[in-house]
Structure 1
Amino acid sequence: MTTRQQDTRDTARLNVQGMDCGGCERKVEAALEGLSQVEKVSASSMSGTVSVTAYADQALDHDALTHTLSKLGYPVIDASPSTASTPRWWGTAKGRLVLISGALLVMAWLLAWRLPEVGAWPFILATLIGWVPIGQAAWRSLRMGNPLTIEMLMSIAALGALTIGAAAEAAMVVFLFAVGELLEGVAAGQARRRIAALGNLTPATARLLEGEAIRDVAADTLTPGQRVLVRPGDRVPCDGRIVAGTSQLDESPINGESVPRQRATGEDIWAGTVNLDAALEVEVTRGAADNTIARIIHLVEEAQGAKAPVARFIDRFARWYMPLVVGVAVLVAVVPPWLTGLAWSESIYRALALLLIACPCALVISTPAAIAAGLSTAARRGLLIKGGAVLEQLGKLQRVAVDKTGTLTAGAPSVTDVEAWTESSEDEVVRLAAALEQDSSHPVAQAIVQHAEQLGLWLGRASEGQAQAGQGVSGRFEGRQLTLTSPRHWQGTETQSARIAALEAEGKTVVLLLAESKALGVLALRDEPREDTPAAIEALKRLGVSVVMLSGDNARTVAAMGKQLGIEAEGELMPEDKAQRVRDWQAQGLGTVGKVGDGINDAPALAAADVGIAMGGGTDVALETADAALLKNRVMGVAELIALSRATLNNVKTNVALALGFKALFLVSTVLGITGMWVAVMADTGATVLVTLNAMRLLGYRFRSPAVTEGR
């Protein structure tokens, strides 16, 4: 994971209509890259968007961008193509072309059957009428400096077939091409709608509380500080904090958790979750543009634009593949008549059919379709992945370093043992420790204060409180200078040290209470592993990933938990020590290394790892710091990320094999004269639709077990 620096270059993200395949993406990118102020373009047919970045110190000319796209036949629209209302297929331009071409082709066959003396003219007419929009698209691309497009190849093939007297096949090719374009558009539109389904999770309206009055308002007008009423059965309209009420919430739309969770006063809840039991009064904490769903959608959209290395390789491959096949087509047209005496009409026919094979649409779309589906599936399960490159890296992980507190454990320790080492009672040790920890938000501090409250002790508050980084806290209380610290920073008697060691050997965290450097007693706490931690570690092991715990807690406690969980463990590490361990593993060639942590004190290690994964329940840190984030706050999410990545990469390999396999098969059969032009068009269209549908299987992906997932 690399350090991210702010990029101040002018960027734009445009929603466009009609961009349904890999060929469309390449036409758009080639046209916009020709503009003087544009440095980088990334078009995504799966999201229907084009991301444009200007050169440093230059501004994008949005009118020029819009004009260029419109001239190319891809008008810019206000709404996302996935959410914009679209007509039925027969109401689209592509649908009308299919109907008209089909009707003309049927009429031509009927005339040829009933009135053979008419000759080939009905087929010529059907070809030319169906070819007009194809020729217009080819001309637009040619004017933009991009001659090798599928429309240009189709034009050459159709008009060439007319020239050599194959009018019936020319008409059939034009019709099948129109059908293929329509199918690609329908498949891409369906994929976009399913991928963008997250955007429909937030309700359109909210019940705004204004004193005693309640009125319905648009959910996207809510602002922080306002209060809304969420009735049982309603979707929560905003990110907010419960100010009154307790209820079970279905959080599966956000984090994929199937079991509802009880939320009470003071707890944060997310937009898009479903209130199940009782009415809640909720204070808005984030506006619609910044709530969790909006940020998830934004991250998924950005991620779709960040191409995986395998996708970039396929793009480069397609750029020389198409000219190569065109060159081969020329040779097929010219060489056989000279060497074998084959008729020129037959060799030209084969060359024209070969041109149709040259379209790389299926190959180009094979990777981004799978990557987009994988990213969307991950987001619906509460697994945020920032880009195709990260998705690809996740599948290569061989070693994962995990934090202890808040990652393998719930981050909520409880007091298990209290011992008084002087005349003070155990309750007195708890009371004095709680006085020092009253104002701290540290999990250990909160556990001590909570324990004191459960014992019914009176809680005072120490003055002159001072936190000592990595050691503890000190302050003055009831006339004494008190310190609550880690035993590693204190030298006691042999008996005291032995007792501390025994507690730590049980996997407990021990804190020592001192008064004027005299030990008053100790408190032992234990943060139990999350419920899913053992199963998650087993899942990772079955995926071939080794797990190592790196913690700042004392070495004996960490070792005890490591033994309990059956993993390597190392304690008493500072943040920079964790980062160094990660770098050491990388230097030793131990494979791709991931780091899982809370995104705050693990930041150096997260940055050093090949992939940083943040646990964080939707916090800003979890969403912004790492390469991936687990909204569901479960360790099993790490195994799910890796398994989903591998399933996606397997899907990509299958798609590439299908695309190249179809091309190779029909390339050979066309050169040998076994298959003709209309079969070539069907093969190209079929391959494109097939790889798109195969990629869409990932939208229904379910993590079952490593053994099943890896073979998917």
Structure 2
Amino acid sequence: MTAGIETTRFSVQGMDCASCAAKVDTAARRVAGVEDVSVSVMAGTMSVRHEAKADLRAIAAQISNLGYPTKPIRPAQPQDTSEPSAGPHLHGDPEFNIDGPWSKTRKALLALACGAALLAAYLVGRLAPEIGHWAFLLALLVGLVPIGRRAIAGAMAGSPFSIETLMSIAAIGAVIIGATEEAATVVLLFLVGELLEGVAAGRARSSIKGLADLVPKTAQLIEGDQVREVPAASLAIGALVMVRPGDRIPADGTVIEGSSAVDQSPVTGESMPKSTQPGDGVFAGTINTDNVLKIRVTAQASDNTIARVIRLVEEAQESKAPTERFIDRFSRFYTPAVLVVGALVASLPPLLLGQSWGEWIYKGLAILLIGCPCALVISTPAAIAAALSAGARRGLLLKGGAILEGLGKITMVAFDKTGTLTQGKPQVTDVVAIGIAEAKLLSMAAAIETGSSHPLALAILAKAKAMNVPVPPAMDAKAIGGKGVTGTVGGDRLLLASARAAAELGDIPAQLQARIDGFNDEGKTVSVLLANDKIVGIFAIRDEPRPDAHAGLSALRDAGVETVMLTGDNERTARAIGSSLGMTVRAGLLPEDKQRIVRELQAAGAIVAKVGDGINDAPALAAADIGIAMGGGTDVALETADAAILHGRVIDIANMMLLSRATMANIGQNITLSLGLKAVFLVTTILGITGLWPAILADTGATVLVTANAMRLLGWKGMSVFPDR
């Protein structure tokens, strides 16, 4: 770090969109001594690189004045082991918690107050029409005064033409033309929209902080001949812990004693539980499924795998450049231009040409009405609201207009495999019976697997059910650690084991071994059933591609978008699936590897969308230009991602991009329509053909036309490989 330069993180309340982040960023950079700023809306944090002598209270005050209460985050104390320090750290300051019931936030209280005032004004207008106008004006002021204060504070902090400025101008303009009721309603809807954005952002923050819950709170610490329960966060490097079957592993470590299958899907995305032997590494938060393990801790709680995932997600969010709303960008030029043109029209003819002041002030006022940004303010959000609604009916959830806009620009989609391109659960693809009927083979295997929750067992039981074969009772059924499951059915001693375990019990015929090798080359897991020490059949099992995977990838290629698979699964399985789908594969990846590859693709010029469904995808989802979570995924994937596909259809990724392109075309039409009408009436007003009332009608008419055009998006349906859906 440069001498004299420090980095301080702040918690920032109330940020819930890219526009908020842009205003916070701009304001912070204007404080003396600030070198660089990065803002994370999702985490509710801001990291500031500043000179050592910079006044942190001045930075916090500058942001707080915008309506976003801000305070430096105190570093976690070294002796505090109550919870991992990799999280958002907000537990360090309980008096300044950014989370809480949404109904008690400032935005909620303001929206409720404005709504109540508007309802009261309506009742007053019905009972006493002569004072109805003043009642609506008071209702308008309830919501507009705070918005106006934020607009003024934003202007003083370097953002003079924010969305608050536009809303203030639109509301005041509406009052001038006598539409006070409409102005009050527009302000209320704006406040409700801000409140909903805040609720969504709060859920995202809670989800990321909840990642730590994957690591158990306690651990079974081995001390000599004794085992005692201790807080998992207190485990030191080198400590020895015992993990029972069904328990989550409390820390990253190395297996010292015991053999078991460990479900690593929360961390690596591996579709099958991994057979773990002494000397193998294991991750915090993964699940021991079969037998007792003794594990030596290799990382402290603050640096375990889950803690690093949390840290990576937050860092990726903070480094992502905020996307400004289109209307904010345009208003930098449009709003001041309208004010300048109105002033010039009102003053120049009388001053330079001796024209009537009354006539030209009238024309200047008409131009201000023509330039009222009502139609522009509604053009973009109306189209976005219609598109989001149409997408939601298809199970496409997008977190705001910036995401909707960005989807149409994607050039590369990076897919997870398990649960994204595939269905997320193993299926029996091949049954090879040797000397007995296939139905009997399935019946015996299902009998000894009954009651097991192992993914391979569930696959065999599902196949037996689909084939409608009887499942007899099994005697003495039990799991044999690292090998398989055994039991007695109808007097036959059965063992369902891996091909490797079966080979240890006796030679496998060359022809059958060739068949097993062929299945392995196709990425399939092979289980061998022995009856009385004789092989009677084999099962090939694999997590198969989703039914629409081929069609979905083809639709992306037709749209000019490239694809790549990034998976934590083993190389052979990933290659087999990737080859069948015709896509490039990168396998054996940990969460940080996926994030690194996304960064590399971006550095090469690609605009990247990352699609995944697991915790292991969270850092890459956050690092990508657009993160997309597949339906049925973990909460953290859904909350970290910018968009979600609830029905789990691969083709819906292409649909998201088509919806984005249709929406942006609609927005372009709306802007052209609203500005075109204003340009026409600007000319006719200056020529004296039209006056105040036509100007008012032009603005109202433009708003109606823009809204009607945006509503056409409600009929959008997208592509489907399932016409009946």
For Structure 1 versus Structure 2, the TM-score category normalised by the shorter chain is 0.5 to 0.7
Deviation at 1:391, TM superposition (A): 2.4
Tell me if structure 1 keeps the 8 A contact 2:427–2:541: yes
Out of 528, 534, 538, which is 2:554 matched to?
538
Structure 1 residue aligned with 2:365: 352
CA distance in 2, matches of 1:7, 1:459: 62
Matched, 1:524 2:537: no
Counterpart selection for 2:699 from 660, 665, 684: 684
1:448 aligns with 2:463: no
Instruction: Give 1:645's aligned residue.
Output: 660
Q: Distance in 2 between matches of 1:693 and 1:609?
A: 34
Give distance in 2, aligned partners of 1:598 and 1:485.
Answer: 30
Between the aligned residues of both structures, percent identity stands at 43
Match among 385, 391, 400 for residue 372 of structure 1: 385
Q: Is the 8 A contact 1:54 1:60 kept in 2?
A: no
Q: Give the distance between the partners of 1:503 and 1:67, measured in 2 at CA.
A: 58
> 1:447-486 maps to which residues of 2 (within 5 A)?
447-450=459-462, 454=469, 456=471, 458=474, 461-463=477-479, 465=481, 484=498
Instruction: Tell me whether 1:326 sits opposite 2:339 in the alignment.
Output: yes
The corresponding residue for 1:262 is none
Within the candidate set 414, 417, 428, 1:404 is matched to 417
- 1:175-574 equivalences under 5 Å are 177-178=177-178, 182=182, 185=185, 312-318=325-331, 321-417=334-430, 439-442=452-455, 444-450=456-462, 454=469, 456=471, 458=474, 461-463=477-479, 465=481, 484=498, 498-504=514-520, 507=522, 509-511=524-526, 523-552=539-568, 555=571, 558-569=574-585, 571=587
Q: 1:583 aligns with which of 587, 599, 602?
A: 599
Question: Could you tell me which amino acid in structure 2 is paired with residue 691 of structure 1?
Answer: V
* Distance verdict in 2 for CA 1:360–1:555, change over 3 Å: same
For the structure 1 residues 141 and 427, does the alpha-carbon distance in structure 2 shift closer, same or farther, using more than 3 Å as the test? closer
For 1:642, what is the secondary structure of its paired residue? Answer: helix
Is the 2:140–2:180 Cα contact (8 Å) retained in structure 1? no
> Matches of 1:439 and 1:380 in 2, distance apart?
38
Asked if the contact 1:461–1:477 (Cα under 8 Å) also holds between the matched residues in 2, the reply is: yes
C-alpha distance in 2 between matches for 1:637 and 1:363: 31
Change over 3 Å in CA distance of 1:188–1:76 after alignment to 2:
closer
User: Could you state the TM-score of these two structures normalised by the residue count of structure 1?
Assistant: 0.54
Q: 1:573 to 1:693 in 2, by over 3 A?
A: same
CA contact (8 A) 1:438 1:449 kept: no
Task: Report the 3-state secondary structure (helix = DSSP H, G, I; strand = E; otherwise coil) of the residue aligned with 1:544.
Answer: coil
Question: What is the DSSP-based 3-state SS (H/G/I as helix, E as strand, rest coil) of the residue aligned with 1:77?
Answer: helix
Change (3 A) 1:417 1:677: closer
Could you list the per-position Cα deviations for residues 640-691 of structure 1 after superposition, in whole angstroms to 9, with x for gaps in the alignment? 2222222222222222222322333323333333322222222222223333
Note closer, same or farther for the CA distance 1:574–1:152 as it changes in structure 2 (3 Å cut).
closer
1:43-96 CA-to-partner distances (Å, cap 9, x unmatched) read xxxxxxxxx64222787999xx999999xxx97427x96xx99989x9577899
Root-mean-square deviation (CA, aligned residues, Å) is 5.9
Instruction: State how 1:16-35 maps to structure 2 within 5 Å.
Output: none
Alignment of 1:598-609 (within 5 A): 598-609=613-624
1:236 — aligned with what? none
Q: Deviations over 1:199-225 (max 9, x none)?
A: xxxxxxxxxxxxxxxxxxxxxxxxxxx
Match of 2:684 in 1: 669
Aligned residues, how many?
499
Work out the CA distance in 2 between the residues paired with 1:522 and 1:174. 79
> Residue 132 and residue 563 in structure 1: after superposition, are their counterparts in 2 closer, same or farther (change >3 A)?
closer
Q: Distance in 2 between matches of 1:497 and 1:382?
A: 45
2:601 alignment partner AA: W
* Secondary structure, aligned partner of 1:613: strand
Q: Is the CA contact (8 Å cut-off) linking 1:658 and 1:687 kept in structure 2?
A: yes
Given the superposition, is the C-alpha separation of residues 361 and 523 from structure 1 closer, same or farther in structure 2, using an over 3 Å criterion?
same
Cα distance in 2 for residues equivalent to 1:371 and 1:522: 54
Give the counterpart letter for 1:446 in structure 2: L
Matched, 1:702 2:724: no
User: Compared with structure 1, are the counterparts of its residues 485 and 363 closer, same or farther at alpha carbon in structure 2 (3 Å cutoff)?
Assistant: farther
**2-structure distance, mates of 1:584, 1:651:** 33
CA 10–422 in structure 1, closer or farther in 2 if over 3 Å, else same: same
Equivalents in 2 of 1:154, 1:482: separation in Å?
Answer: 74
Alpha-carbon separation, structure 1, partners of 2:106 and 2:613? 45
1:627 match: 642
Distance 1:135 1:662, change over 3 A: farther
Cα offset for 1:630?
A: 1.9
Answer yes or no: is 1:77 the counterpart of 2:112: yes
Alignment CA distance shift 1:334-1:600 (3 Å): closer
Separation of aligned partners in 2, 1:55 and 1:651: 38
Give the equivalent residue in structure 2 for 1:234. Answer: none
| Aligned mates of 1:610, 1:432 — CA distance in 2 | 47
In the TM superposition, what is the alpha-carbon distance from 1:509 to its structure 2 partner? 0.8
Q: What is the SS of the residue equivalent to 2:718?
A: coil
- Cα distance change, pair 401–319 in 1 and its aligned pair in 2 (3 A): closer
TM-score, length-normalised on structure 2?
0.53
| Letter aligned with residue 364 of structure 2 | A
Q: Indicate how the Cα distance of structure 1 residues 379 and 666 shifts in structure 2: closer, same or farther if over 3 A, else same.
A: same
| Structure 2 residue aligned with 1:655 | 670
Aligned-partner Cα distance in 1 for 2:682–2:601: 47
Kept in 2: contact 1:406–1:598 (CA 8 A): yes
Per mean C-alpha deviation after superposition, the further-off stretch among 667-676 and 134-143 is 134-143
Amino acid at match of 2:710: A
Distance 1:635 1:133, change over 3 A: closer
Change beyond 3 A, Cα 1:341–1:326: same
Distance 1:704 1:576, change over 3 A: same
Paired amino acid for 2:665: N
Preserved CA contact (<8 Å) 1:612 1:627: yes
Q: Aligned partner of 2:690: which letter?
A: T
Contact 1:513 1:519 in 2 (8 A): no
Where 1:396 maps in the other structure, the secondary structure is coil
Amino acid at match of 2:498: L
Contact 2:107 2:191 in 1 (8 A): no
> Who is 1:213 aligned against?
none
- Structure 2 partner of 1:298: none
8 Å CA contact 1:509–1:554 kept in 2: the answer is no
d(CA) in 1 for partners of 2:496, 2:70:
60
1:456 CA displacement: 3.7
Whether the 8 Å CA contact 1:180–1:685 is kept in 2: the answer is: no
Q: Residues 595 and 431 of structure 1: is their aligned pair in 2 closer, same or farther, counting only changes over 3 Å?
A: farther
In structure 1, C-alpha distance between the alignment counterparts of 2:580 and 2:106, rounded to whole Å: 63
In the TM superposition, residue 39 of structure 1 has moved relative to its aligned partner by: 4.1
Rate the CA distance shift 1:179–1:391 in 2: closer, same or farther, 3 A.
Answer: same
Given residue 545 of structure 1, which amino acid in structure 2 is its aligned partner?
V
* SS in structure 2 at match of 1:530: coil
Q: Is the 8 A contact 1:593 1:610 kept in 2?
A: yes
User: Aligned in 2, Cα 1:138/1:317: closer, same or farther, shift over 3 Å?
Assistant: farther
Q: Which amino acid aligns with 2:551?
A: A
